[in-house]
Structure 1
Amino acid sequence: MKAAPFAYVRPGSLDDVLGELAGGDGKVLAGGQSLVPVLAMRLGRPGTLVDITAVPELGELGVRDGGLRVGAAVRQRAVEHDPAARAVPLIGMAMPFVGHRELRSRGTVCGSLAHADPAAELPAVACCLDARIELIGPAGRRTIPAAEFVTGAMSTAAGPEDLLLSVTFPAAAAGEGHGFAEIARRHGDFALAGVVTRVRVDRDGAVTGARLTGFGISDRAVTREVTPLLREAEDEHGLRPATAALAEEVVDTGGDTHGSTGYRRRLFGVLAARELSRALRRARDRRETA
């Protein structure tokens, strides 16, 4: 199929972008790696595509106020290779699994968040790190946590006249370690199940916080605080019973030709135990280095 007819504009200022979105018939275009297939299948029929790549402030990338701020037009490939992104190690772990290199050269970080695919890596990373998402629209600017931004499969808190301005990922502190893993049919495919972890320890190496986010397992990324779980067992095999029980609670996606619900629960439980253990080791290695 081919896209239904639409108008195309490329404003040069933020005010002009918001003007084009007024009325709710416009759709933001940045990288287009999610939007163009939707248009081609006629799952979306916007009257106007509003290309935001000419707005200078939406292409900003850098560390400020203790976090990595990624503007709406910043390519995934740029984040993958920018030294500033080293402030958020989990970005470096996850980015090579986001599609393929060619897709990351066009796709944007904020575009992936706005698309809100339940099996996508970047929304899960944002939720695990409690990233902050900045929106602007008729009601002005507002900032909301990533976990509140995604409301369901392909659904977010952004209104039809809103623009996602940026996402800010908090920089890793001393004593903070991370883990990332996913299982997919082929590298670059969407995950059958995936896990993102963040663990914090004090100077003595004792666990002070542990967080786990699963993706590809429900209608959105699912985040749980798992500090007591990690305090009771630290090694992968000791964690397995607890993560298997957690899988029964959080994995509710239906089975398909690629795997049953039970298979995804098994994947999630194994990956969760392994990545929590790895994140703990990394956190202890980083007690004095961040």
Structure 2
Amino acid sequence: MEIKAFRWESGKLLLLDQRKLPEVEEWVVLEDHLQTAQAIKDMMVRGAPAIGCVAAYGFLMGVRKGEDPKVVYETLKNTRPTAYNLFYALNRMMEAYQRGEDLEATARAIEEEDYLANRKMAKIGNELIPKNARILTHCNTGALATAGHGTALGVIREAHYSNKSIFVWVDETRPYLQGSRLTAWELSKENIPHKIITDSTAGFLMKKGFVDCVIVGADRITKRGDVANKIGTYALSVLAKVHGIPFYVVAPSSTIDPNIESGEDIPIEERFEEEVKAFKNCQFAPKESPALHLAFDITPAENITAIITEKGIWKPS
């Protein structure tokens, strides 16, 4: 059975609560846009494409309940400032509303288009993956982060299905552990060979010659090819460049923001410092010590070997 992060059933949205993985697979029912907005804020659902799809269904539920579409739009828009798919999906839903179009059909189309884009990106990106490749990936870019299959992890899946005998290094991805909790969970489900590493191990593995390429996703891409992605991505791009290792970004075209030229103009979400100092009720840092929690960083186009979308391979250089 294919992994899904969300399901639309009988006018309600069901979310797989990603905060509780891998210990518990719990589905939560959402019935309005307020619950949807809170679920996005709390990272019950995460990953730019999945956030966009879920927000589209949240907009649909809010309008169906008779709420002011502008209020619904603003409520959902203000949940996560960096992920461009959120704005892409909400803009499509608002435009559909203004034209009097079927909102459920529009939300379903957004989901279906993302899924098909993931499948297409996987095949395109697989062309760049050699046999026996040792791939390093960061955060979670799989089915849990999308409408299904995944972006960077979709390429990894395709390489595995193609019998290329790949191996995956999984960055744990501090502080929310999307790599060790979620990516490793997805890879385990499909018996794809992998090992979890601490984020700070990546550079040494590159130096030792144990990494053949780096594949990551994106939350927003500028016109010139700068990429916003999970914090730690920029450091990986620098390390890959120093060691002469290909650095690939995989994302649907809906992640490209046509209104922004440079990565310097992308708003970077700063999340709660408690997420750095504690996790799942385990306090491992002094409560009185302040912490900085930037959720994303910017990788400049010159550090990127290629950006893979459903429309083809784009080389920013």
Query: Could you say which TM-score interval applies, normalised by the shorter chain?
Result: 0.3 to 0.5
Name the TM-score, length of structure 2 as normaliser: 0.30
Structure with the higher fraction of residues in helix conformation:
2
- What's the TM-score once normalised by structure 1's chain length? 0.32
- Higher strand proportion, which one? 1
